[in-house]
Amino acid sequence: MVTPARSKTGIVLGLVTVLLVGLAVGMLAALQRQLIYFPDSTTVPSAGEVIDGARDLTLRTSDGLALGAWFVPASSASDMHMAVLVAPGNRGNRLGRAALAAELSRRGLAVLLMDYRGYGGNPGSPSEDGLAMDAMAAALLLGELGYPAGRTIYFGESLGTGVVAALQARRAPAGLVLRSPFTELADVGAHHYPWLPVRMLLKDRFNVTEFLSDSAVPMTVIYGDRDSVVPSDLSARVANEAATLFERVVIGGADHNDAVMFGPRVADTVARLTEAVG
C-alpha cells in the first residue's frame, strides 16, 4: 500500500525530473549554435606569405560584413580557365586549406579559399543563413574576377557541403564536389547524441539531400570509410541519391581530417570533374 507521504514524494521527484530535463533541453536549444560551430578565430597571414602568387580578397556580404579570403591563381602552364570555390568545414581556417589550394592551382585551377563569418579573424557569428550569405558573396566575387558560375566548381567540405548544396540551388555551377557530405545536419547530431531530441531542437538544418533533390549539376562525392565525424553511410546515401553523380571516390582507411583528405588525391578528383564539364 502506497502511503500519502510516499505518493507525494513520488510526485515531487517526478516534477523535479521533468523540470530538470526541460531545463537541459531549453539550454541546449538556446546554446545549440555553440554546439554546432567551432570557429577558429585566429587571424591568418596574408595569402602571398603562404602561397606564391596568391592574394588577399575581401568578400562583401549582403548583410554588410567584410570577410577575408584568399585567391590563388591557376598555374599558367596548365590553366583550365576554371575556378574552384572552397567552402570549408568546421575546423581551422583557410590557412589549413593552403596545401589543397596549391594542388588545385598546379592542376590549372584558380581557387578562392573563403572563411565564414567568425572564422579566420572575420567578424560576425556563424549561422546557416549567415554562411549562405558568405558563400554567395564568394561566388559573386569570383564572377567579378572572370569566373562566372558556369566556369566554377563548388567544393564543399563537411559542413561546407551543406553550404554549397544550398548555393548551387540559387546559383548553379559547372560542377559540384562534396567531400565528406551528410544527408542533413540532424542525422549527424542524432548519431553523436542519440539521447537528445536533436531533430526537434535543431534550428540550422543544412539539408543537403533536399537542396540536391532536383539539381542538374554534375556531382562528385568523396569520403573516407573510417570517418568518425560524419558517418560514412551518410556520405554514401548522398552519393546513392544523386541523380547527376559523376564519380564516387571512397578513400580507404581515411578519417574525417586525415591529411589525405586535403591532398593530391582529392585535387585529382576535382580536376577530373572539371575536365568533364569544362
pLDDT in tens, 161-211: 999 999 999 999 999 999 999 999 999 988 887 877 777 778 899 999 999
Whole-number Å distance between alpha carbons of 258 and 227: 9
Res 9 pLDDT > 80: no
The CA-atom distances, in angstroms, between 129 and each of 160, 161, 171, 204 are 13, 14, 16, 8
Outline where DSSP puts E strands in 78-168.
Answer: 82-87, 109-114, 152-157
Cross-strand bridge partners of residue 72: 111
Q: Taking residues 108-133, what's their average pLDDT?
A: 96
CATH 3.40.50.1820 applies to domain 40-277: yes
Long-range contacts of 53-60 (CB under 8 A, 24+ apart): 54/101, 57/112, 57/141, 59/114, 59/134, 59/137, 59/138, 59/141, 60/137, 60/141
- Of 78, 69, 143, the closest CA to residue 104 belongs to 78
Which residue bears the cell 585551377?
Answer: 109
Supply the mean pLDDT for the chain: 89
Domain range list for the chain: 1-36, 40-277
Please indicate whether residue 159 or residue 38 has the higher confidence score (pLDDT).
159
pLDDT band for position 91 (50/70/90)?
confident
- Strands 66-72 and 82-87 turn out to be unpaired
Local confidence band at 4 (pLDDT 50, 70, 90 cut-offs) = low
Instruction: For 220-271, write each residue's pLDDT tens digit.
Output: 999 999 999 999 999 999 999 999 999 999 999 999 999 999 999 999 999 9
CA dist., res. 133 & res. 59, Å (int): 10
In this structure, what C-alpha cell is assigned to residue 190? Answer: 542524432
Residue 26 confidence (pLDDT) above 60: no
Residue 12 vs residues 1, 6, 7, 18, 72: alpha-carbon distances, Å: 19, 10, 9, 10, 64
More confident residue, 219 or 204: 219
